[in-house]
Amino acid sequence: MPRFDGRRVLVTGGGSGIGRATVSRLLHEGAAVVAADVSESGLKETAALAAEHADRLTTAVVDIADETSVREAVGGATAQLGGLDVLVNAAGILRSAHTHATSLEFWNTLIGVNLTGTFLMTREALPALLATGRGVIVNFSSTSAGFAHPYMAAYAATKGGIQSFTHALAAEYAKQGLRAVCVAPGSIASGMTGNPGLPEDTDRELLAKLRPALVGEGFADPETGFAGPEAVAGVVAMLASEDGAFITGTEIRIDGGTHM
């Protein structure tokens, strides 16, 4: 029996990249999924790619940095699914800058989407997740939370905050059967990693170490140094399923050995 038969899942960032790959993986394993994203066109493409599972896929436009939008999206998804078993907070943005040139607006935008957005989605979904007695939250951190990624101090701060937030959630709700875990991707191909907006005067020597150890067929592309988003989607599926039933309050790094 597929691991997600009868399970109801809400995935943010479902309009592209790792979020889309996660939607596809969970649908393939039998889940009923609401894919949420700020991009309506991205969601339409996700739905078209998953046409064979159309009976178990619904899409919802949401701005995770907006409280009203989140409340409406989570309420609608929970009603559509008849409850909620799993929340995957894959939505986020990546921007780069010299820290000394980082504006408050730049900083607040990253905090608002990545950290506050994860909080808002989690807060609104918690009642439904707790009602199942076996709810799961999978949050998205990054290797930047624990390792030096130049020009990404603001982004790293949001991802470190998500890790701490996840640990606190796991401790607070464990007695109610909720599991909260993080994935920490690195060297993964997606829209935002393909164009991180590095400064024009970027010192490429500072980026030289950001290459995975695992390259070649089935691993990272030797030219780009990136693996496909499916590498993360498979780990998310494990964590959100009963195969991950004894995993909570931690993060799993998925980077092909970039940060060994």
**Catalytic residue ranges:** 155
What secondary structure does DSSP assign to 184-196, as a single string?
EE-SB--HHHH--
Residues 6+ apart with CB under 8 A from 186: 142, 143, 144, 147, 210, 212, 253, 254, 255, 256, 258, 259
User: What is the C-alpha to C-alpha distance for residues 87 and 106, in angstroms, rounded to an integer?
Assistant: 27
* Token pair for 164: 């701490």
* Token pair for 90: 């894959």
CA angle 169, 117, 120 (to 5 degrees): 55
CA nearest neighbour of 38 among 94, 91, 89: 91
Q: Any idea which residue has 């997740």 for tokens?
A: 129
Q: Is 112 exposed, middle or buried (0-12, 13-18, 19+ CB in 10 A)?
A: middle
